[in-house]
Amino acid sequence: MRMKAQEIRSLSDADLEKRLLDLQEELFNLRFQMTTGQLDDVMRIREVKRSIARVKTIQRQRELAKLPQEG
């Protein structure tokens, strides 16, 4: 299932971390399936990679928002 950025933003920091770990595990499994020739939906790898990028982007935005502002 593809998550939109707005849905990801509504998650807490702990939920974001758990979601990231789940996505990384899913990506590992998909790559393993692809190597063994068992993967039916190759596009799923692309979707998972993009979801991982979305989660990491939002984590970074939150991290930067917590830093004191210069100037």
Task: Look at the pTM and tell me if it is higher than 0.85.
Answer: yes
Label residue 70 by pLDDT band (50, 70, 90). confident
Average pLDDT on 22-33 reads 97
pLDDT for 71: 61
**Tokens in use for 57?**
């982007």
Instruction: Delineate the domains of the chain, giving CATH numbers in brackets.
Output: 5-65 (1.10.287.310)
pLDDT surpasses 90 at 44: yes
Q: Where are the alpha helices (DSSP H) in the chain?
A: 5-9, 13-36, 43-66
> Could you tell me the two tokens for 60?
């970074």
Q: CA 10, 69, 65 angle in degrees (round to 5)? A: 10
Look at residue 4 in the predicted model and tell me its pLDDT. Answer: 81
- Residue 38 CA to residue 49 CA, distance in Å, equals 19
